[in-house]
Structure 1
Amino acid sequence: MKKTIVIYQSKYGYTKKYAYMLGELLDCPVYNRKRIQSDELLEYDCIIYGGPIYVGGVSGIDVIDRYPDIFKKKQTIVFTCGLTDPSLPETVAHRNDHMKQQLTKESYQAIKIFHLHGGINHKKLPLAHRLVLLLIHHLHIKDDISSLDIGEKEIMNAYGKIVDFTSKEALYPIVEYIKKDV
């Protein structure tokens, strides 16, 4: 198997959880994006980047375009992690659209993308984030849920709850992809 590394950025812990599960499944190192130097990536054949969906975009994904000489020579896989259900076509389209805006066309076309279902724990959110969710909740409390976009629906359904959709099984397609592409 290719020499692989998982790097991630996590805001609330769900992306980190997936990154470490993936590291265990692939028997490879896992690093927080902020704690690894770009030159350390040179020794790997496959770089997996995991980033949370935050305000529509993938946090930290700019690392791919910041070091194009490294990433264009490697097999690069990106997994996103967010509250919206990645089995829904509108979730995938929404995440992909944001990634197309965040990356150069060349980078976007060169990566393999997987979308994962994360979670939310309102009790652990910073006050500012809880207030934003409270505002969204109050704005839509009387709305017909079918009239809301996918993100608003998820916020309404998860509001005030601890929701964790992470699972090791969700990572199997990534593992299979890496193993078949030896």
Structure 2
Amino acid sequence: MKQTVVLYKSKYGAAKKYAGWIQEALSCDAYQVGEFQWEAITKYDLVILAGGIYAGGISIVKDLKKHLTALADKELILFAAGASPFDQKMLEELKLRNTETLHREIPIFYGRGAFDEEKMTVIDRMLCRMLKKSLSKKEPKDFEPWMKELFEWDGKGCDWTDPKYLEELLAYTKAFESAGKDNR
């Protein structure tokens, strides 16, 4: 039987919540990436890496790059949690931006995260306010989906996390488990 592990990096909790749901659905191990003992990676066939999106980057990708040699013979999946509604164009750009230097194909999945100004660092709060102010100079009809969400945000916390966003990832994982390792 194939062994799966979920490694996550979560700044405000959404990626951790998704990692827990994946762990429950697949009956697999899950670790915060900073606490994972990398010598144990040898016992896993599939590694799901989950992280939040910040300024177009998936937080866990830095860890992925750091341990790329240890992950060379593993099937990898990226899961990104972000505040924006799903948008295929955004997902393609996210994949290109985060995986183009890895020189291997890694499927990426997306789920909506959470947005709560009270939990944000001062810097993140300031960046969001500056971005929202800059959006006020644009025509709303020209907004991308994430711009519309940010512009309409009323300052209250929002949590869009939902296990439904994991359906495609879980189906992909089940197909991997039944078909074996072939896409490397």
TM-score range, shorter chain: 0.7 to 0.9
What's the TM-score, normalizing by structure 1?
Answer: 0.88
1:66–1:7 CA distance, 2 compared to 1 (3 A): same
Per-residue deviation, residues 39-64 of structure 1 (Å, max 9, x unmatched): 12111111110011111111121322
Aligned residues: 177
Displacement of 1:96 in angstroms is: 1.6
Displacement of 1:3 in angstroms is: 1.0
Name 1:105's counterpart in structure 2. Answer: 103
Distance 2:16 2:26 in 1: 15
RMSD, aligned CA:
1.8
Q: 1:155 aligns with which of 112, 130, 150?
A: 150
Q: Unmatched 5+ residue regions in structure 2?
A: 178-184
1:115 aligns with 2:115: no
Distance 1:153 1:94 in 2: 18
What's the TM-score, normalizing by structure 2?
Answer: 0.87
Secondary structure of the corresponding residue to residue 78 of structure 2? strand
Distance 1:69 1:26 in 2: 25
Displacement of 1:4 in angstroms is: 0.8
Displacement of 1:142 in angstroms is: 5.2
Aligned residue runs from structure 1 range 19-98, under 5 A? 19-86=19-86, 88-98=87-97
Per-residue deviation, residues 93-128 of structure 1 (Å, max 9, x unmatched): 221221135x4223xx1x221122112011211122
1:90–1:157 CA distance, 2 compared to 1 (3 A): farther
Q: Unmatched 5+ residue regions in structure 1?
A: none
Structure 1 residues 120-129 or 92-101, which shifts more? 92-101
Distance 1:9 1:70 in 2: 18
Kindly indicate whether the alpha-carbon contact (under 8 Å) linking 2:18 and 2:163 is maintained by their aligned counterparts in 1. yes
Q: 1:129 aligns with which of 117, 124, 148?
A: 124
Displacement of 1:159 in angstroms is: 4.4
Secondary structure of the corresponding residue to residue 53 of structure 1? strand
